[in-house]
Amino acid sequence: MSKEQDRTEVKIGISVEELISAINELDEEHREFLIENLLAATNPDYLHSIEEARVNYRQGQILPHNKVFGKAEKN
């Protein structure tokens, strides 16, 4: 696809405030799912990175936080 993709506007009969309220009522898992899907819809590379990370996780190819970022410092 070209960088200048066609945009399709979707008009729905709710206000921005109602949409925000509905999103805020979602539990964390469903909210993350919604955000992932919105990002994926606009960025195929992001969707691919999610799929790749899930495969790595299922295969046990993970690193603990301290291996990636070092030991956390206490304040």
**DSSP codes joined into one string, 10-50:** ---SS-HHHHHHHHHHS-HHHHHHHHHHHHHHH-HHHHHHH
Task: Find the farthest-apart pair of alpha carbons in the chain and give their distance in angstroms, rounded.
Answer: 49
Any idea where the domains of the chain sit in the sequence?
16-62
Place of tokens 């009969």: 13
pLDDT band at 75 (very low <50, low <70, confident <90, very high): low
Q: Is the pTM above the cut of 0.85?
A: no
For 2-21, write each residue's pLDDT tens digit. Answer: 445 566 677 788 998 998 99
The torsion angles phi and psi of 23, rounded to 5 degrees, stand at: -65, -40
For 24-73, write each residue's pLDDT tens digit. Answer: 999 999 999 998 888 877 888 887 888 899 999 999 999 888 888 888 77
Q: Which among 40, 33, 41, 31 is positioned nearest to 10, based on CA atoms? A: 41
Place of tokens 């956390």: 72
